DNA sequence: GCCTCCCACCGAACTTCGTTCGGAAACGAG
DNA sequence: CTCGTTTCCGAACGAAGTTCGGTGGGAGGC
């Protein structure tokens, strides 16, 4: 993970469909060398994949929200089964097991407020392990598409 | 946005570096047609970009957390300037303006707990518009890499 | 200091792919 | 049915991905 790798990771975060030759040109190295570097990053698991970013409106998801959930008991069995349940729902973008007052934080994207309500009432609240939940509609969001490596501690 | 477009969007969410020929093969159409479809999706803004997914550990970010922040006054000026400030911090993955008890929800990724604490105390708390904040360390996370279009309402 | 080994890099050759374009086919409106 | 429009296909060509033998430079041993 030298300086060349960092630069490569940064370029591929910005645009994953650049040609290998274009990447090589920007780094000032030969295409064959560049390809070998990328392959190495993939093999080592540094690069986990390449994904297209899709406009949520095009996917018919006009409303997004976070749902903070408390579940009991907080055993591994219950956490794992609830995680699996949540991850399988098409409305769910991502889910987090967190410390603090809440146990789960779930990012959902649905058609509209009616569907958000239906999701909460018809899907989530059916789960017996939930003892409370509270949702926050998202007004705006900002995403950092390119993350750099932080300095050593 | 017909069935072919949906399938294309799904394939490119899963793997954005597939060759155009491979995409065409999976959809049962000619490469030239497939390319025209992809270009159209890009032109219409359905596809916003292609990004490499990087292992957070490789970026030296062992700890992630959500920080819920309350700010005052809740005017556009203050919200915008705080958003800009937050989005510029290298520790921040994403930031959300939300309804409900909190005003901002900030997803951060840092080296370790010491750096999380330093981030909260040295960076965030300097902002005068913050009247309170509370952080939740992330234990586990699940990501839905491929989102499908939801049914019409 | 010198020799050797090893690893990263390069450039050429070959395969595969992206891209363009003319024409065919499908579709809808009148 | 006919016309016009849109979508699709297949061939052709330039560009890119991929492989591989060779080269240089740095590390370690003598």
The pLDDT tens digits for A28-67 are 999 999 999 999 999 999 999 999 999 999 999 999 999 9
DSSP per-residue letters across B72-125:
SS--HHHHHHHHHHHHT-TTEEEEEEESSS-SEEEEEEESSHHHHHHIIIIIGG
Task: Judge whether residue A152 has pLDDT over 80.
Answer: no
Task: Judge whether residue B142 has pLDDT over 90.
Answer: yes
CB contact under 8 A, A50 and B47: no
| Size of the A and B interface in Cβ pairs below 8 Å | 227
CB contact under 8 A, A142 and B12: no
Identify the closest residue of chain A to B14 by CA–CA distance.
Answer: A51
Name the residue facing A50 among B47, B50, B141 (closest C-beta).
B50
**Per-residue confidence band for B101, with pLDDT thresholds at 50, 70 and 90:** very high
Residues in chain B: 153
Interatomic CA–C1' length for residue A54 and nucleotide C20, angstroms: 27
Strand C lies under 7 A from the Cβ of residue B32: yes
Interatomic CA–C1' length for residue A1 and nucleotide C10, angstroms: 21
Which residue, B43, B14, B128, B92, is CA-closest to A146? B92
Give percent of chain A with pLDDT exceeding 90: 97
The pLDDT tens digits for A85-118 are 999 999 999 999 999 999 999 999 999 999 999 9
The pLDDT tens digits for B3-39 are 999 999 999 999 999 999 999 999 999 999 999 999 9
Which residue, A62, A142, A138, A112, is CA-closest to B103? A138
CA dihedral B100, B102, B104, B109 (to 10 degrees): -120
**Per-residue confidence band for B54, with pLDDT thresholds at 50, 70 and 90:** very high
Looking up tokens 């899709």, which residue turns up? A54
pTM of the model: 0.94
């Amino acid at each position: 993970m030298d300086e060349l790798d960092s630069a490569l990771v940064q370029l591929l975060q910005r645009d994953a469909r650049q040609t290998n030759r274009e990447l090589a040109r920007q780094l000032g190295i030969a295409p064959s060398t560049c390809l070998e570097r990328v392959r190495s990053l993939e093999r080592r698991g540094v690069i986990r994949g390449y994904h297209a970013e899709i406009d949520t409106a095009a996917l018919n998801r006009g409303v997004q929200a976070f749902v903070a959930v408390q579940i009991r008991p907080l055993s591994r069995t219950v956490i794992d089964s609830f995680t699996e349940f949540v991850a399988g729902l098409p409305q769910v973008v991502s889910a987090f097991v967190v410390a603090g007052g809440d146990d789960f934080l779930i990012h959902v994207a649905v058609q509209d407020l009616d569907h958000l309500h239906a999701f909460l009432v018809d899907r989530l609240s059916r789960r017996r392990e939930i003892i409370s939940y509270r949702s926050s509609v998202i007004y705006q969001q900002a995403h950092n598409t390119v993350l750099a490596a932080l300095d050593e501690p």
